[in-house]
């Protein structure tokens, strides 16, 4: 009943105030959630209190795929989704799950803000979605329950949890592992019960999820940089007037800058915390991992994804 009540009126009007409902699956300590809170504050300020964002965190209204579908039909106004599961709706999103497209964090952020980054943000319109902005999600690396990862051979024969992304499945296969798509909310128990041997994600997510309590090896090979994208229902966006749209976009842009400023500190804090909890954190040579996925990456030559790979790599 609570969920049904929450879903009623994704863009309601209460006492001459437009209320936008935003749902996501992250912990409230996560920098992306904090960025969204900042967005809500800025929108209230810009609109003089005539617009409000109500945030439903922690998967209260469903997992990421569920939330995307709710945004598509206008049952909620906005959500945050990793671009990996988004590829099921928007094929061009596959480019973000291809390993070693980006050189480092500076390159990632420049690429997201570049013309090709804006092109990718706009491409979600094919799924009746409005791309509002990218939040920084750092780089993804392997963490394992009881075996270290120093080279791709260490992934061989292991069951590795990935997001529901065929591209991520192909990456694990290229390294000799067995990819197992599992929902984020189910992963802790899957690691604990031995359903999978390990997973891959960024340091803040590894820490805030509590996965470090089960996984005692974290290898920062940084194979992919899969950003989070803030999406809005096209239907609800079009229902706003020009001034309201300008306020919403300004608030989103402010929140993106705010969240990116938080990210580095959150990463360092997470690594310090998991090390203190007994996790062995290593920095393996990336060259063997890059070589292992070279054929997979080359398979996109001559395709639209191949064009996007080259365009992102070319950003200086």
220 or 63, greater pLDDT: 220
**Contact (CB, 8 A) for 81 and 67:** yes
Specify the pLDDT at position 4: 40
Residues in the chain: 316
List the domains of the chain with CATH numbers: 2-136+227-269 (3.40.190.170), 140-225+270-313 (3.40.190.170)
Query: Per residue in 103-123, pLDDT tens?
Result: 999 999 999 999 999 999 999
Query: Per residue in 6-21, pLDDT tens?
Result: 444 566 666 689 999 9
| pTM of the entire predicted model | 0.89
Inter-residue long-range contacts of 36-43, CB under 8 Å, 24+ positions, other chains counted: 36/80, 36/230, 36/255, 38/254, 38/255, 38/258, 38/259, 39/251, 39/252, 39/254, 39/255, 40/251, 42/250, 42/251, 42/254, 42/255, 43/247, 43/248, 43/251
Give, for 258, the enclosing helix (H) or strand (E): helix 242-276
Specify the pLDDT at position 8: 45
CA 23 – CA 183 distance, rounded (Å)? 16
């Amino acid at each position: 009943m609570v969920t049904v009540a929450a879903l009623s009126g994704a863009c309601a009007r209460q006492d001459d105030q437009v209320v936008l409902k935003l749902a996501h699956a992250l912990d409230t300590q996560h920098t992306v959630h904090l960025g969204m809170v900042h967005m809500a504050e800025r929108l209230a300020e810009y609109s003089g209190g005539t617009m409000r964002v109500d945030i439903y965190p922690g998967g209260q209204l469903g997992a990421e795929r569920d939330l995307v579908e709710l945004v598509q039909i206008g049952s909620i106004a906005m959500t945050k989704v990793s671009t990996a599961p988004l590829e099921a709706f928007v094929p061009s999103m596959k480019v973000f799950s291809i390993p070693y497209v980006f050189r480092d964090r500076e390159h990632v952020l420049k690429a997201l803000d570049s013309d090709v980054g804006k092109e990718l943000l706009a491409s979600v319109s094919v799924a009746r979605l409005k791309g509002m902005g990218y939040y920084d999600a750092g780089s993804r690396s392997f963490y394992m329950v009881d075996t270290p990862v120093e080279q791709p051979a260490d992934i061989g024969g292991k069951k590795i949890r990935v997001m529901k992304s065929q591209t991520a499945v192909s990456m694990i296969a290229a390294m000799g592992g067995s990819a197992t798509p599992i929902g984020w909310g189910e992963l802790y128990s899957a690691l604990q019960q031995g359903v999978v041997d390990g997973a891959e994600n960024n340091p803040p997510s590894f820490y805030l999820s509590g996965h470090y309590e089960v996984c005692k090896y974290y290898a920062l090979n940084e194979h992919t940089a899969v950003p989070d994208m803030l999406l809005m229902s096209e239907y609800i966006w079009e229902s706003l007037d020009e001034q309201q749209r300008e306020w919403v976009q300004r608030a989103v842009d402010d929140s993106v800058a705010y969240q990116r400023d938080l990210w580095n500190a959150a990463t360092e804090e997470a690594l310090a915390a998991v090390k203190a909890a007994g996790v062995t954190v290593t920095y393996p040579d990336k060259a063997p991992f890059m070589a292992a996925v070279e054929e997979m990456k080359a398979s996109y030559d001559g395709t639209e994804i191949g064009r996007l790979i080259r365009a992102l790599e070319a950003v200086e």
